[in-house]
Amino acid sequence: MRGDSGSVERWHGGVGLRGRRQQDLHDRARQLARRQFGNRVFVRGVVEVSNHCREDCAYCGMRRSHRGLNRFRADPDALADLLLEHWPEFVTDLNIQSGEDPVALREVVLPLIRRLRRETALGISVCLGTLDAPAYRALREAGASLYIMKFETAGPDRYQRFRAPGTFEERLDHIRALAASGWRVSSGFIAGLPGETGADLNAAIDLAAQLPLDGCSVSPFIPGNESALSGAPAGDLEDTLNVMALLRLRRPEWVIPAVSALNILSPRDGYLRGLGTGANLVTVNLTPGASRADYLLYRRDRVIMTSERIRAALTSAGLEPSPISLAAHYAGTPREVSRAAAGTAATEPVTVG
Residue 276 inside a domain? The answer is: yes
Range of the domain at 196: 7-331
State the total domains in the chain. 1
Residue 95 lies in a domain: yes
Q: Which amino acid is at 141?
A: E
Residue 314 to residue 296: CA distance in whole angstroms: 26
How many CB atoms within 10 Å of residue 123? 26
Is residue 350, in this structure, part of any structural domain at all? no
| Domain contains 348 | no
Q: Is residue 299 part of a domain?
A: yes
Per-residue pLDDT tens digits of the chain, which is 353 residues long? 556 544 555 666 799 999 999 999 999 999 999 999 999 999 999 999 999 999 999 999 999 999 999 999 999 999 999 999 999 999 999 999 999 999 999 999 999 999 999 999 999 999 999 999 999 999 999 999 999 999 999 999 999 999 999 999 999 999 999 999 999 999 999 999 999 999 999 999 999 999 999 999 999 999 988 898 999 999 999 999 999 999 999 999 999 999 999 999 999 999 999 999 999 999 999 999 888 889 988 777 778 899 999 999 999 999 999 999 999 999 886 656 644 345 443 322 222 22
* Residue 240 in domain: yes
DSSP, residue by residue, 222-237 = ---TTSTTTTSPPPPH
CB 40 within 8 A of CB 87: no
Residue 115 lies in a domain: yes
CATH code for the domain in which residue 15 is found: 3.20.20.70
Query: How distant, in Å, are the alpha carbons of 257, 314, 329, 334 from that of 338?
Result: 22, 19, 15, 13
Asked whether residue 197 is domain-assigned, the answer is: yes
